[in-house]
Structure 1
Amino acid sequence: MGFGSYDESEQDNQEYDTEFDDEDGLDAEENAHEGAVEYEFTASNDELLDRLKDIKEDENTNT
C-alpha cells in the first residue's frame, strides 16, 4: 500500500465504544476556585496612557 492508501475491509471491522461512565469524564467542580482578586494600581491614568503611546511608537519604528 502506498501513502494515503487503506484497506477498505478495515472500514467494516471498526467498533466504536459509545458507552460512557461517570468516571470517564472529569469533574469540573473539582478544581473550582472560590475567592477574590484585587489589583492595586500605582500609576495614574495619564502615566499609563503615556506608556501606551511609547509602546505604540516603538512598534511602529520596529516594523
Structure 2
Amino acid sequence: MGFGSYDESEQQQRTRNADDVEAVNVHENDHDGQMSFESDLSTDELVSKLGSMKDDESSD
C-alpha cells in the first residue's frame, strides 16, 4: 500500500451492541441539601479579600 491508500473494509460502518456500552450517570451523586457558613467578616471585607486573591493569581 502506498501513501494515502486504505483498506476499504476498514471503512465499513461497524455496529455496536448497546448492552455492551457502559453509560455515565451524571446524576448519580446529586445533592439537594443546603450549605451555610458563618464569618466574622463583613461583606465588604470578604469582597476586598476576594479582590486581593484575584490580584495575586494574575501576578503569577
What range describes the TM-score normalised by the shorter chain of this pair?
Answer: 0.3 to 0.5
Q: TM-score, normalised by structure 1?
A: 0.43
Q: TM-score, normalised by structure 2?
A: 0.44
The structure with the greater share of residues assigned to helix is 1
